Amino acid sequence: MTIYEGAGIVAAIGVLFTFANYILARKRFKVEKQFRSKENAARLLSRYPTLLKKITFIGMLMGDQGKIITTKIEDHISARSKDCKNCKKKCKAKKCDLMFTSNEMKEIFKDLSKPLRSYKASVDWLKSYVLIDAYIKIFGYDKALFDAARVIESLYKKKEDLKFEDLDANLQFTVREIKQRCRAMLTDTLNELEEICMNFYFKIADGDVAWYSMYQTYLPFISLVYPEISSFNDKLRAEYYTNVIDIYNLWNKKYRHERRLDKVSNVMMLYQGGAIKEVADMVKASESGKKAARVIT
Ligand SMILES: [Zn+2]
């Protein structure tokens, strides 16, 4: 072996060594990236319980109106994706997505113009003073961290001649102020979800990690506020809450794929699954006067 040949081998080994290092580094980088993305998902998820309180509360306020809306949305999605064989996690077909535009909204609710109008009215969400008071206690003041159920329960125990002014002498809000606060709560919730979903959509955070904790409440909630989002958006193109919408479509397909032919509508999962059922059961149990009935219906 000449000195040149020897040098050639050394150089070749050097190249191989560098290449192996590069592969290892890339792998390490990938693993680190995955780890960071899971870590980010966990960090984002730690914010979700607080959001869930608001989501549950909004669901309570929407009541039967909400059920009508989510059922319509569910029917619409089922009809559109019925013929699509790829309608699973990776389906890219636009026809299977909800667009969240004002034109689409008109189409979905075309035979329901009246409920939709009353939805518009109920966006103001003044259904009962009891719920509003619960809202103020839960979200407006940090005196104590009550659950919605507990606050309502305590209110019902002294439900005789319940008047808004009697609930707490220190909470003197006008009806208009309370309406504004309820509305602000919806906007805040959607804004925060938009920020969280942006992280999932751009894979800064691992959406698969979040999916298991979020989809059961996220999907029905976004269906519930579909008219709210869509009425903000353009006739043909969604401009607001686009990450919320993208994640909704992505997760909905994943959900439908994983539970093909599910007969349970999204909204039933929300109403049967979480705090809403708890609250509804409790209210039903303590229901004895007209005031209690007013809260539920
Ligand atoms: Zn599809």
CA atoms of 45 and 38, how far apart (whole Å):
10
Report the share of the chain in percent with pLDDT over 90: 20
What is the whole-number distance in angstroms between the Cα of residue 84 and the centre of ligand 1? 5
Q: How far apart are CA 215 and CA 251, in angstroms?
A: 7
Q: Look-up: residue for tokens 């999932």?
A: 200
Distance CA 52, CA 132 (A): 17
pLDDT tens, position by position, 270-284: 444 444 444 444 444
Q: Convert the pLDDT of each residue in 201-241 to its tens digit.
A: 999 999 988 998 899 999 999 998 888 888 888 878 888 99
From the CA of 243, how far away is ligand 1's center (Å)?
A: 19
Q: Please state the domain extents for the chain.
A: 47-126+182-284
| Residue 260 Cα to ligand 1 middle (Å) | 13
Residue 5: pLDDT over 80: no
Average pLDDT over residues 252-269: 63
Instruction: State the pLDDT at residue 198.
Output: 96
> What is the spatial distance between Cα 5 and Cα 9, in angstroms, rounded to a whole number?
6
196 CB contacts (<8 Å, ≥6 apart)? 44, 47, 48, 210
**More confident: 221 or 150:** 221
Cα separation, 199 vs 44, in Å, equals 9
Q: How far is the CA of 136 from the centre of ligand 1 (A)?
A: 42
The predicted-structure confidence for 44-78, as pLDDT tens digits, reads as follows 999 998 888 888 877 776 766 778 888 889 999 88
Segment holding 197, helix H or strand E: helix 175-201
For residue 95, what is the DSSP state? G
Rounded distance between C-alpha atoms, residue 227 and residue 235, angstroms: 13
**What is the 92 CA–ligand 1 centroid distance (Å)?**
7
| pLDDT(199) > 50 | yes
Angle between helices 48-81 and 175-201 (to 10 degrees): 70
Q: Within 13 Å of residue 193, how many CA atoms lie on the same side as its CB?
A: 29
Closest CA to 131 of 178, 173, 165, 170: 178
Cβ atoms of 159 and 291 within 8 Å: the answer is yes
